[in-house]
Chain A
């Protein structure tokens, strides 16, 4: 399976080439070439549309590295490449475990590690690209869980390195503390080795130059998150299913807390709760994850994630 985006690029280049060849001749001076290239152009455009319409079910990502570890299109430092793949796989495994298996412990073996394994299936020359794919013996009818995880990991890489602090802050809320360490390792490796990255996954095709890499490194270097889960937060609850946001007016406190709703609540479940009488606006005992984010030279920041509704409490 080839990465859709890279396939599209290759086809688009071929189509542009044929366009140029066709525009350089008339049917009269080259009837055979004109006939064949016209047909080929139509065929390639059909292929292009078919690829555009295709939904890739299995996870795949291309990591193109540039900068100091890469030697033109000849090669890449073996040590760097090995470490980069290792750290990226680690990111994927931890994210998979945290999403599929519930909250990941601060240490210890990573559960479901085998289910998150990706294969190095190809290299792409030009700058040096490593193509990682999920392999599945059976044809998947729907996007696999790993596909979703890799999509999330690559988005997090982009968000953590984004120039906009708000984008970074929003990404931070979604990353579990153990995965954060792997993001830190990833950006530290790139930054220490003066490497740049072009990341191609799904419809994403983004380049992180040395500024972006360094920015992400600084953000993840001096950050520590500590998560605790409280089963005893009681308050009046409201939420916005479309935005996956909640507000809890905590009993006995003047200030409400607000935050995101855990991915463990499906959108359908949230919409059902919104429609069910005597849910919203009522007092609930809730399960809340409280994340304390510690950053260098900044006061600690608390963020909240609604993990569950335990029981309704009489007003």
Chain B
């Protein structure tokens, strides 16, 4: 379920009268079909969604299937109203298990910089993308989760509290239809 933007033109940090109900609290669980239905509202946004679908497809081809993505940034804000322009990209952080042994991870990274180098991911897929390997020591996973969640849940400067989305890597991508 993806809530509508609130009066601040961002995803609300929670919805409903009772923020203690898990489904009403950010991050909001969603599918790719829901994401597309909500945000494929302009050619620029459709381009970004196509990039995101391609990025996710690449992850699955690398056998990275157990995990989820946090979706945030201007793509899930009313950027058009807030800044007078469409978003340039979508911010994502993938939390997933890589499919190779630890010794092969450096090679996996170097051979797939379009996935693991955020500058290249942005250029290739319009995704400002980061990756948290769930195979690494749990203390590091927790630290990284704190960092990304803290960064994504507040706007810079204004410190506005806002929500984000969570989509599993294995979702209904094949059912998405884009022009």
Q: List residues of chain A with CB under 8 Å of any chain B CB.
A: 2-3, 6-7, 10-11, 14, 17-18, 21, 24-25, 29-33, 35-36, 39-40, 43, 73, 122-126, 131
Is B156 an interface residue when CB atoms closer than 8 A count as contact? Answer: yes
Knowing that A124-B159, A125-B158 are A-B contacts, what are 17 other residue pairs whose CB atoms are under 8 Å apart, sorted by A's residue number? A3-B157, A17-B147, A18-B147, A21-B144, A24-B140, A30-B133, A31-B105, A32-B98, A32-B131, A32-B132, A36-B117, A36-B118, A39-B118, A40-B130, A122-B158, A123-B158, A131-B158
Say yes or no for B116: interface residue by CB 8 A criterion: yes
Q: Is B4 an interface residue (CB 8 A)?
A: no
Is A7 in contact with B144, judged by CB distance below 8 angstroms? no
Once bound together, how far apart are the Cα atoms of A32 and B100, in whole Å? 12
Q: A40 to B105, Cβ gap below 8 A?
A: no
Q: What is the CB-to-nearest-CB distance from B100 to chain A, in angstroms, rounded to a whole number? A: 11
Chain B residues with CB under 8 A of A39 = 117-119
CB distance from B53 to the nearest CB of A (A): 22
| B159/A126 in contact, CB under 8 A | yes
Which of A11, A32, A43, A126 is the most central at the interface, judged by chain B CB atoms within 10 Å of its CB? A32
Shortest Cβ distance from B169 into chain A, in angstroms?
A: 15
Contacts of B57-116 to chain A: CB distance below 8 A: 98, 105-106, 109, 116
* A29 pairs with B157, CB closer than 8 A: no
Residue among A7, A18, A25, A35 having the largest count of chain B Cβ atoms under 10 Å: A35
Chain B residues, CB < 8 A from A36:
116-118, 130-131
Minimum CB distance partner of A6 in chain B: B157
Give the CA-CA distance A33 to B161 in the complex, in Å. 26
A3 nearest CB neighbor, chain B only? B157
Question: How far in angstroms is the closest Cβ of chain A from B164?
Answer: 17
**Cross-chain contact B157 with A124 (CB below 8 angstroms):** yes
Q: A14-B151, A125-B158, A125-B160 are in contact. Are A24 and B130 (CB under 8 A)?
A: no
Does the CB pair A33–B136 fall under 8 Å? yes
Contact of B133 among A11, A21, A32, A125 (CB under 8 A): A32
Contact assessment for A40 and B118 in the assembled complex, using a CB-CB cutoff below 8 Å: yes
Residues of B within 8 A of A126 (CB): 159
Interchain CB contact under 8 A, A122 and B157: yes
A-B contact count (CB 8 A): 72
Q: Do A30 and B140 touch (CB < 8 A)? A: yes
Bound Cα distance A30, B139 (Å): 11
- Contact between B140 and A124, CB atoms less than 8 A apart: no
* Chain A, Cβ-Cβ closest to B113: A35
B143 proximal to A (CB < 8 A): yes
Which of A7, A18, A25, A43 is the one whose CB lies under 8 Å from B140? A25
Cβ of B137 under 8 Å from chain A:
yes
Q: Is the CB of B137 within 8 A of A21?
A: no
The residues in B between 157 and 174 inclusive whose CB is less than 8 angstroms from any CB of A are 157-161
**Whole-angstrom CA separation of A11 from B157 in the bound complex:** 9
Are A33 and B157 also in contact (CB < 8 A) when A21-B144, A40-B118 are?
no
Give the shortest distance, in Å, between B125 (CB) and chain A (any CB).
Answer: 15
Taking the nearest CB of chain A, how far is it from the CB of B133, in angstroms? 5
Q: Is A29 a contact of B156 with CB atoms below 8 Å?
A: no
State the 8 A-B residue pairs at the shortest beta-carbon distance, nearest first. A125-B159, A10-B156, A6-B157, A30-B136, A31-B106, A31-B105, A2-B157, A32-B133
Min C-beta distance of A123 to chain B, whole Å: 7
Asked whether A7 lies within 8 Å of B156 as measured between CB atoms, the reply is yes
Name which residue of chain A comes closest to B106, CB basis.
A31
Q: A2-B157, A124-B159, A125-B159 are in contact. Are A33 and B144 (CB under 8 A)?
A: yes
Determine if A32 and B118 form an interchain contact, defined as CB atoms under 8 angstroms apart: no
CA distance A17 to B109 in the complex (A): 24
Q: Are B158 and A32 closer than 8 Å at their CB atoms? A: no
**A294 CB to nearest chain B CB (Å):** 43
CA distance A195 to B45 in the complex (A): 45
